[in-house]
Amino acid sequence: MLELKEVSFIIRKDGEEVPLVDRVSIQVPKGHFMAIVGPSGCGKTTLLKTIAGLNPESGGALFWDERNLSEDEDFSPSEIGYVPQFSIAYDPLTVDESVEAATRLRVKSRNTAELDARIDRVLEETGLGPISDRQVKVLSGGQKRRLGLAMELVSDPKILLCDEVTSGLDPRSEREIVRLLHDLSRKDGRIVLSVTHSLSHLELYDSILVLHEGRVAFHGPPEQLTHYFSVHDTEEVYPRLASQPSERWHVSWQKHRASYQKMLDRNREKLVASGALHVPAKPKLPEPEISDPAADDDAESGKRAATRKREEADALKLPGFFSQFSTLLSRRWRIFFRDRGQVFLQLAILICFPLLVTIFSEKASEPIRGYSDTKQTDVFVEIQEQQSVRADQAKVGSAVSGIIMFQVVLLSLMGSNNSAREIAGERPIYEKEKFGGLRPSAYLASKVAFLACLVITQSLWMAFFVNLFGTFRGDLVQHAGFLLLVNAAMTAICLAISALMRTAEQASLLSIYLVGFQLPLSGAVLALPEKIEAFTRPFISAYWAWSGSVEALQTRVHDAVKSVIDTGISPQNACLYALCAHIGVALIAAWAGACRPQWD
């Protein structure tokens, strides 16, 4: 049984405490189908999230099978399923692939046959078998809701929480979903709680919970709803609620609560007697013959511990880190190759950016004139020679420095494009999968592995393509290494931004601003004031990659670059350590963002 005793959830707004859920007390037996209804903003979704453990209760206690969830451990991932209002599946995947990924992430299967059997059973239960090969993006609203249910049922949850799963559906699809939820509640004693605005098809529910401003106004059989509120039609319930303050409805309900609970109990007994409801019997533990009160307490504690141990043994085991990692990485590559727009964008970047660099690299390949070995007797000729040599140095040095910075900035832009939306763009799906038992470590590792492939391909291709059409005048391997590091650093930083931001739009905007400030704050084009430069330089990845590549130039070219810039050039080791530090700090920030709950 699921029981709530005086459960409250309070937030602070404008310095005052506002109860979104206020002293809710209900009992929901196994095999029960309950609707949670009420006007908009009455606390329905908040209550559902409080039951799920997403909102920590501010007062009261929740009990599940005599286990105090407020003090003991929360639900295990396999015990509970949460179906949000909108689709939480990737559009490029098929129905079968979506359910398979959910199964691999939530259930440890002994072999492929067991995995396939579970997937087939869930598809059959939800009526998705005939359309299992369709992509998610072509599904109707009702089919997407069924898919959301299927992805939760893979772990056989004992409690299924559904948040507005019938919202926006046509009447036929709505009834089909409600009928499906009703049937699911009759399987293995599963509790199904459904938040809904609709007051249609109430006859399919075992009980109706009506909330008003976070308080319970009614909880009883659906056939008693209109009688309790003294209305002729269910559509009149909401206007009737608004006619009185929520506190009066709550006080009135406290007076009549016991009688309506008896009605629910009688209805349940009838269902069991008719065979319409079958709840698996709970195995009984042998009763110890102990009369001492202290010993009785110990025995009761031992019984609870034994019950908990038995439930843990019955619960499905979560897959390991590497299993979840491989599933996520495989799914990410599948989504990437099916997104033609993203594939074409990556190919365009790989082709156009290096070509753009080679167009401007001609001056960087010109020879640098040196001083004549013959001493000039004419002072005027010697001055002309010095001016000519310095002009050549300035022209070539400026071109080489500019080309290196151009490559660095373009790779920074690639890094931003790689990861700015990588986590924020799929935040609802990730949060839902994390609720279902996904390890943040496996998730972040899969992102790093995927992005590392892009970074290596982009950076090495940039270095060697440009060198093919205009030789890098120094150590190419070192130059390629710094290009790789700046791309990795910017990719990691934008991944951290994506993990910390709530929306993809916020993450993209901040990442673009970050890339835009790389060039002016690096000081490679115009020297900054020393005070500003000392503060900004440690945080500018472009400076360290540019400086490290300049240090890899041939001596004469290196001197030519130094002759035209006012910014100091740091040693290669310092550049290497700085870029590695950027990557390390960014990954730590990404880890913090991935671990932090960010439900809408």
Q: In whole angstroms, give the CA distance from residue 49 to residue 56.
A: 9
The answer to whether residue 302 sits within a structural domain is no
Asked whether residue 95 falls in the same domain as residue 134, the answer is yes
The SS3 of residue 83 is strand
CA dist list (Å): 373 to 111, 376, 382: 79, 9, 12
| CA-based nearest residue to 19, from 248, 256, 246 | 246
Asked whether residue 418 falls in the same domain as residue 566, the answer is yes
The residues, ordered by sequence, that sit 6+ positions from 132 with a Cβ below 8 Å of its Cβ are: 94, 95, 96, 99, 123
Q: In whole angstroms, give the CA distance from residue 99 to residue 142.
A: 16
Q: Which residues pair with 160 in a beta bridge?
A: 81, 192
Strand 191-195 and strand 159-163: pairing? parallel
Q: In whole angstroms, give the CA distance from residue 285 to residue 573.
A: 68
Domain boundary among 119, 139, 156: 156
Q: In whole angstroms, give the CA distance from residue 289 to residue 244.
A: 55
pLDDT in tens, 97-118: 999 999 999 999 889 999 999 9
The answer to whether residue 354 sits within a structural domain is yes
Arithmetic mean of pLDDT, 450-473: 90
Q: In whole angstroms, give the CA distance from residue 489 to residue 515.
A: 12
What phi and psi, each to the nearest 5 degrees, are found at residue 175?
Answer: -65, -40
Domain boundary among 126, 156, 186: 156
Question: For residue 157, what pLDDT is reported?
Answer: 93
Asked whether residue 75 falls in the same domain as residue 98, the answer is no
The answer to whether residue 494 sits within a structural domain is yes
Of residues 155 and 295, which shows the higher confidence score?
155
| CA-based nearest residue to 395, from 405, 407, 387, 385 | 387
The answer to whether residue 372 sits within a structural domain is no
Q: In whole angstroms, give the CA distance from residue 149 to residue 124.
A: 12
Other beta carbons within 10 angstroms of residue 491's beta carbon come to 30
Domain boundary among 248, 280, 312: 280
Structure tokens at 512: 């673009």
| CA-based nearest residue to 177, from 157, 189, 194 | 194
Provide the edge-to-edge strand list for the sheet that holds 215-220: 80-83, 159-163, 191-195, 33-37, 207-212, 215-220
Mean pLDDT of the chain: 86
Q: Which residues pair with 553 in a beta bridge?
A: 474
Q: Is 106 exposed, middle or buried (0-12, 13-18, 19+ CB in 10 A)?
A: buried
CA dist list (Å): 509 to 167, 421, 427, 499: 32, 10, 17, 14
Arithmetic mean of pLDDT, 225-253: 90
Question: For residue 312, what pLDDT is reported?
Answer: 46
Asked whether residue 149 falls in the same domain as residue 162, the answer is no
Asked whether residue 162 falls in the same domain as residue 231, the answer is yes
pLDDT in tens, 507-526: 999 999 888 888 777 766 66
CATH of the domain at 265: 3.40.50.300
**Residue environment code for 288-314, b if the CB has 16+ CB neighbours within 10 A, otherwise e:** eeeeeeeeeeebeeeeeeebeeebeee
Residue 118 and residue 96 in contact, taking contact as beta carbons nearer than 8 Å: no
Q: In whole angstroms, give the CA distance from residue 216 to residue 22.
A: 8
Q: Is 198 exposed, middle or buried (0-12, 13-18, 19+ CB in 10 A)?
A: middle
Place of tokens 């592995």: 449
Q: How many residues does the chain have?
A: 600
Mean pLDDT is lowest, of 156-170, 295-309, 392-406, for 295-309
The percent of residues above 70 in pLDDT, for the chain, comes to 87
The answer to whether residue 454 sits within a structural domain is yes
Amino acid at the residue 282: K
Asked whether residue 65 falls in the same domain as residue 107, the answer is no
Residue 86 banded pLDDT, cuts 50, 70, 90: confident
The answer to whether residue 443 sits within a structural domain is yes
Residue 107 and residue 319 in contact, taking contact as beta carbons nearer than 8 Å: yes
Asked whether residue 70 falls in the same domain as residue 127, the answer is no
Q: In whole angstroms, give the CA distance from residue 120 to residue 291.
A: 52
The pLDDT of residue 599 is above 80: no
Please give the residue range of the domain that contains residue 251.
2-79+158-280
Q: In whole angstroms, give the CA distance from residue 241 to residue 210.
A: 9
Asked whether residue 339 falls in the same domain as residue 423, the answer is yes
The pLDDT of residue 55 is above 50: yes
Q: Which residues pair with 8 in a beta bridge?
A: 59
Residue 504 and residue 425 in contact, taking contact as beta carbons nearer than 8 Å: yes
Highest mean pLDDT among 28-32, 355-359, 366-370: 28-32
The answer to whether residue 205 sits within a structural domain is yes
The answer to whether residue 293 sits within a structural domain is no
Asked whether residue 580 falls in the same domain as residue 461, the answer is yes
DSSP secondary structure letters along 187-236: STT-EEEEE-S--SSGGGSSEEEEEETTEEEEEE-GGGHHHHHT-SSGGG
Asked whether residue 141 falls in the same domain as residue 199, the answer is no
Residue 25 and residue 8 in contact, taking contact as beta carbons nearer than 8 Å: no
Q: In whole angstroms, give the CA distance from residue 165 to residue 183.
A: 15
Residue 234 and residue 251 in contact, taking contact as beta carbons nearer than 8 Å: no
The SS3 of residue 329 is helix
Provide the edge-to-edge strand list for the sheet that holds 67-68: 16-28, 2-13, 59-64, 67-68
Question: For residue 69, what pLDDT is reported?
Answer: 86
pLDDT in tens, 529-586: 777 777 778 889 999 998 999 898 888 787 777 777 767 788 899 999 999 999 999 9
Cα within 13 Å of Cα(262), Cβ side: 3
pLDDT in tens, 466-505: 888 877 878 899 999 999 999 999 999 999 999 999 889 9
Asked whether residue 503 falls in the same domain as residue 590, the answer is yes
| pTM recorded for the entire structure | 0.87
Residue 554: left (phi > 0), alpha (psi -120 to 50), or beta? beta
The residues, ordered by sequence, that sit 6+ positions from 109 with a Cβ below 8 Å of its Cβ are: 103, 115, 118
The span from the first CA to the last CA of the chain, in angstroms, equals 29
Asked whether residue 430 falls in the same domain as residue 557, the answer is yes
The residues, ordered by sequence, that sit 6+ positions from 375 with a Cβ below 8 Å of its Cβ are: none
Q: In whole angstroms, give the CA distance from residue 412 to residue 414.
A: 5
Q: In whole angstroms, give the CA distance from residue 495 to residue 589.
A: 9
Count of domains for the chain: 3
